[in-house]
Amino acid sequence: MTLSAIPVQDRLIAALDVPDAEAARALVGRLGDAVSFYKIGMELCMAPGFFELLDWLKRERKKVFVDLKFFDIPETVLRAVRNLAERGADFCTVHGNQSIMQAAAAGKTGDTKVLAVTALTSLDQGDLDDLGFDCDIPTLVLSRARRALQAGCDGVVSSGLEVPRLRLEAPKELICVTPGIRPVENRVVADQKRIMTPAEAIRAGADYLVIGRPIRDAADPRAMALAIQQEIGSALG
């Protein structure tokens, strides 16, 4: 599937940032057909029923983004990605150097796509300076995106603020998955420092938007998801 052919419905990835599998299933039930793509990450991985939840989501014909940011010796990463691919995960994330990203890419099978983490949206330039990076965030993101594609990864996770430069300078086949999305009426930053609205991120060139708390914490999560879907469609149109 070309990036331009991504179904509008699939561009919203709802993050199941909840404490356990039971709460995740309940939220999926409330959202119904308003969401077709879900992210399950570290919090749920540390709770019972993680893989049963993944399998259940696939049986419900949902797409699943497993966001565990694999960072380990290459052989371990390869095997971890292979196991996820065999369970039908649609996206998974890797964090690390060239050999780790290459191993992750080598482990994927079927339709599973590997995304390289560039710079977390909870980091700003001051954080990069503290970590010893001798460059600005846009330069780091572009460098990691190029290296990820060279390693055989399918795309990156990147703040929407860096997506315009990626679209100008990175290969067109790069998948851009963008977290740190906050609807206009939900602009509390909390631990996210580099944020955008759904429409801003889509117009910047993001392919998929990961949105968690604005949906989870809404008085009516389904209504919020539908409003975001409408905003995405309008931005594309």
72 noted as active-site residue:
yes
**139 labelled as ligand-binding?**
no
**73 labelled as ligand-binding?**
yes
Which letter, b or e, does each residue of 134-152 get, where b requires 16 or more Cβ atoms within 10 Å of its Cβ?
eeebbebbbebbbbbbebe
Cα separation of 161 and 139, whole Å? 12
**Those residues with Cβ within 8 angstroms of residue 127's Cβ, 6 or more apart along the chain or in another chain:** none
**182 labelled as ligand-binding?**
yes
**67 labelled as ligand-binding?**
yes
Pick the catalytic residue from 67, 90, 154, 207. Answer: 67
Pick the catalytic residue from 10, 20, 55, 72. Answer: 72
**25 labelled as ligand-binding?**
no
Q: Which residues pair with 237 in a beta bridge?
A: none
**69 labelled as ligand-binding?**
yes
> Cα 48 from chain centroid?
22
**58 labelled as ligand-binding?**
no
Cα separation of 24 and 230, whole Å? 24
Cα separation of 183 and 195, whole Å? 10
**74 labelled as ligand-binding?**
yes
**192 labelled as ligand-binding?**
yes
To the nearest 10 degrees (0 to 180), the angle between helices 137-151 and 98-107 is 50
49 by Cβ neighbours in 10 Å (0-12 / 13-18 / 19+) ranks as: middle
67 noted as active-site residue:
yes
**72 labelled as ligand-binding?**
yes
21 and 49 Cβ atoms separated by less than 8 Å = yes
Pick the catalytic residue from 58, 62, 69, 193. Answer: 69
207 noted as active-site residue:
no
**180 labelled as ligand-binding?**
no
198 and 235 Cβ atoms separated by less than 8 Å = yes
Q: Which residues are annotated as a binding site for substrate?
A: 17, 39, 67-76, 121, 182, 192, 212-213
Q: Which residues are annotated as a binding site?
A: 17, 39, 67-76, 121, 182, 192, 212-213
Catalytic residues: 67, 69, 72
